[in-house]
Structure 1
Amino acid sequence: MRLNIQHQTQYVYSEMVTYTIQQLRLTPQNGFGQHVRHWDIKVNGQLHEVQDTFGNIAHTLVIDNPHHELYISVSGEVETGVGDVSQHEALPMPIYLRETELTAPSVGITEFAHAFKAKPLEEMMHALRDKMQYLKGATQVDTTAAQAFALGQGVCQDHAHVFIACCRSLGYPARYVSGYLFTEDGSLMQTHAWADVWLDDRWQSLDVSNGCVTNETHIRLAVGLDYRGASPVSGMRIGGGEEGMATSVIVNQNGGQLLQHQKVSTATLLQQAQQAQQ
């Protein structure tokens, strides 16, 4: 499956920003059944490419002149379902057993996980999906696994964090995956998240929010111990006052012409960011 991606992010600020530095994990790589045919990043600043600890392609974005906005655009084509299923891993597996603030298991999570100790991962995944309703706005970007599990609600980030906490409590190395998801009806026009679990000497990827093993509709961007380690965009600024942000994500398999037709104009995106600021 050939998937076209257009991902735009617009930030606006109420006051002048004197300095911005961002880490962008917005570049997919070959492997895990996907092949990057072409990819492009555009920003209103300087980019420096690096490879981070987890092997992700990352770009450090620096804007060292006064500015009132920040625009990031990535686009490209990724072929999925291909024969390249290489899973090279440079880090020792015990690293993926580490707890983080976002994935530390509560007593409830541990008890839930141990009920599935001798059962297939898919069974625990489905049980967790039944227990945690997918609901936008129920949680925040800094909501922990323990908080989301107690609430019984969340989005893909929360599902991934809780599932990772469950797996680690069972002694299975696990990590967070950020990426994109193609849906026939275009119902998920945003970034997506799922989990990798090391079992039977290989990474197994499970999408709790959709109750499935990942497939050719998934596009991998980055991995980390949790959302903070695999976040598509993170960083800091000096100045700026109130921030407004708007994003647009389009994933389709219908070629560049339809993608351009669907693309949100930069003027519209800027307007949306300004409205979010108010």
Structure 2
Amino acid sequence: MRYKVSHIIRVNYNPLVRLAHFNLRLAPIPWPGQQVDQYELAVDPLPDRREERPGAYPFKLVRVEIMKPISTLEVRSTFIAEVGDAELDFAASGLTIAQVAKAALEVRRLDAMAPPHYLFPSRLLPATPQIAQWARPLLPPDADCLSSALALAQTIRSSFQYDTSATQADTPVADAFAIRRGVCQDFAHVLIVALRSVGLPAAYVSGYLRTYPPPGQPRLVGADAMHAWVALWCGPQRGWVGIDPTNGVLANADHLVVAMGRDYSDISPIDGVFVGGASQKTYNSVDVSPIDTRTMAS
């Protein structure tokens, strides 16, 4: 499936910002089954300095510096992507949870995709006993790793309520778990903590999800949102597999990967520091448009 993706971030400041340094993580990374073309990142006003480099984890970092006073910052990220469905044979024998946990500890490399980075508590995801206790019966050591993780994601999908007003970006994972409410970020964080509690490498993935309008209704431009799901390392043969707990499915041709980190704080689309601006308001507009005419006509 081919898509055209447009993501606009607009930040209004009051009063003016006199000096600003921003980190942007919006350029899609290479990912199996995903090809990206025609990527463009535009910043208005034009930065005084712009630097691009690989991130500490699998993301592309763009750092911009604006020296002049501004009241509005606008970032536009656009690209074309072709994504295929993951080809996974569940009938084939996979590794058990205990086998994957053991294999992860035996990995000796430390590149950005290395599973040891994603085994341990991270900034937003401390060890959380209540999540570990809840997940333990669903993740027995002798169970198939991928099947069990997907079943746990489906449990989150059925027992947690999607509620955009229940949490904020900085809501602790224990709080979101306690109320069984939140958004895709919260559901991904809960699943990651659960998987790590039994020794499985689990990472936070940000990207885009093609959404479908209700039957008979037109697709709304800009109605899509940046999405989050989980990457689970399933051993040296299967490698990383995407699992979407918000929808209870494996990541597929509707999921477009942008970045991967230990939790949201590693790969937030924009952060930074500025001088001035006692208040700010941020607006996001995301549009994921299918451009494969054959698929659209079917």
TM-score (norm 1): 0.86
SS of aligned partner of 2:138: coil
> 2:231 maps to which residue?
196
What percent of counterpart residues are identical? Answer: 32
Aligned residue among 249, 252, 257 for 1:215: 252
1:96 aligns with 2:118: yes
Aligned residue among 58, 62, 73 for 1:55: 58
Spell out, residue by residue over 1:57-116, the C-alpha distance to the aligned partner (whole angstroms, 9 max, x if none). 11001111111111100111101118999xx98244222112124222422201111112
TM-score (norm 2): 0.80
1:129 aligns with 2:151: no
Alpha-carbon deviation of 1:246?
A: 1.0
> 2:175 maps to which residue?
147
Alpha-carbon deviation of 1:131?
A: 2.4
> 1:39 maps to which residue?
39
The answer on whether the counterparts of 2:58 and 2:261 sit within 8 Å (CA) in structure 1 is: no
> For 1:35 and 1:84, how far apart are their aligned partners in 2?
16
The answer on whether the counterparts of 2:210 and 2:255 sit within 8 Å (CA) in structure 1 is: yes
The answer on whether the counterparts of 1:105 and 1:146 sit within 8 Å (CA) in structure 2 is: no
AA of the residue aligned to 1:220: V
In the comparison of the two structures, how many residue pairs are matched? Answer: 254
The answer on whether the counterparts of 1:35 and 1:82 sit within 8 Å (CA) in structure 2 is: no
Spell out, residue by residue over 1:228-274, the C-alpha distance to the aligned partner (whole angstroms, 9 max, x if none). 1011111111111111111110001147xxxxxxxxxxxxxxxxxxx
> For 2:198 and 2:116, how far apart are their aligned partners in 1?
13
- Structure 2 unaligned residues grouped into runs of 5+: 89-108, 214-218, 293-298
> For 2:121 and 2:57, how far apart are their aligned partners in 1?
16
> 2:211 maps to which residue?
183
Aligned residue among 286, 293, 296 for 1:249: 286
- Structure 1 unaligned residues grouped into runs of 5+: 256-278
SS of aligned partner of 1:180: strand
The answer on whether the counterparts of 1:197 and 1:204 sit within 8 Å (CA) in structure 2 is: yes
Aligned-CA RMSD value: 2.2
> For 2:65 and 2:87, how far apart are their aligned partners in 1?
34
1:227 aligns with 2:264: yes
Aligned residue among 93, 103, 106 for 2:128: 106
Structure 1 pair 250–89 and aligned structure 2 pair: CA distance change class (3 A): farther
